[in-house]
């Protein structure tokens, strides 16, 4: 057998082997499956995605600190933060608020976000008296478990970030209801100079 025939025979065998492998991969790639958030007639709620079983905890997320993970102290709603609120925490909270909260609550927290302008039910303003007086654990709990039309964000947002958002909400509330006397004296002097 000539070497060119041997080469042609080897090339043919390799081509057939690769083609068989590709067709097998294609069949696996095109298998029947649901895409994320696709509708399903199989489940009664019409969703293909399944919610985690109640009480499910991601590996490594087990905590013995209910203040941090549940927003509770001695079984009651927390009135304090589980860690010190620093500028970094507020910056993190602002960033997370802009990602997760502004579509409904808007940048200012007035409840007139973009989805509301498109017809979604308006949430209450974060600046109403009831929410300004609510303990910080209330906001953590609402972010964690949802309320009314608001979905739970316990899967998407880790506890530390939920607390950071809570701290930012408090700062946002304070900023909308601050008095001139709340501004530290050195900053007040700068503001007065700027106003001239």
Residue 170's beta-bridge partner residues?
none
Out of 25-34, 69-78, 95-104, 181-190, the most confident range is 95-104
**Does pLDDT of 23 surpass 60?**
no
pLDDT tier, 16 (very low <50, low <70, confident <90, very high otherwise):
low
Running DSSP on this structure, what letter comes out for residue 78? Answer: P
Element (H, E) at 76: strand 76-77
% of residues, the chain, pLDDT over 70 = 84
Element (H, E) at 73: strand 72-73
End-to-end CA distance of the chain: 99
Q: What does the pLDDT average to over 37-59?
A: 81
- Decide which of 1.10.150.120, 3.10.20.440, 1.10.760.10, 2.30.36.70 is the CATH code for 66-182: 1.10.760.10
């Amino acid at each position: 057998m000539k070497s060119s025939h041997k080469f042609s025979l080897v090339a043919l065998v390799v081509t057939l082997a690769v083609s068989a492998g590709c067709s097998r991969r294609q069949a696996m790639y095109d298998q029947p499956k649901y895409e994320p958030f696709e509708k399903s007639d199989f489940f009664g709620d019409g969703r293909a995605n399944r919610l985690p079983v109640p009480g499910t905890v991601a590996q490594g997320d087990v905590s013995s600190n209910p203040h941090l993970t549940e927003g509770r102290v001695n079984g009651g709603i927390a009135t304090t933060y589980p860690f010190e609120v620093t500028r970094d925490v507020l910056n993190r909270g602002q960033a997370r608020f802009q990602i997760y909260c502004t579509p409904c609550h808007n940048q200012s927290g007035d409840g007139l976000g973009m989805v509301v302008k498109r017809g979604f039910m308006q949430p209450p303003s974060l600046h109403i008296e009831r929410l300004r007086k609510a303990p910080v654990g209330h906001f953590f709990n609402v972010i964690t478990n949802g309320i009314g039309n608001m979905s739970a964000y316990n899967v998407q947002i880790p506890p530390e970030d939920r607390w950071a958002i809570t701290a930012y909400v408090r700062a946002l509330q304070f900023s909308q209801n601050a008095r001139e006397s709340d501004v530290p004296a050195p900053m007040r002097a700068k503001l007065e100079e700027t106003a001239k």
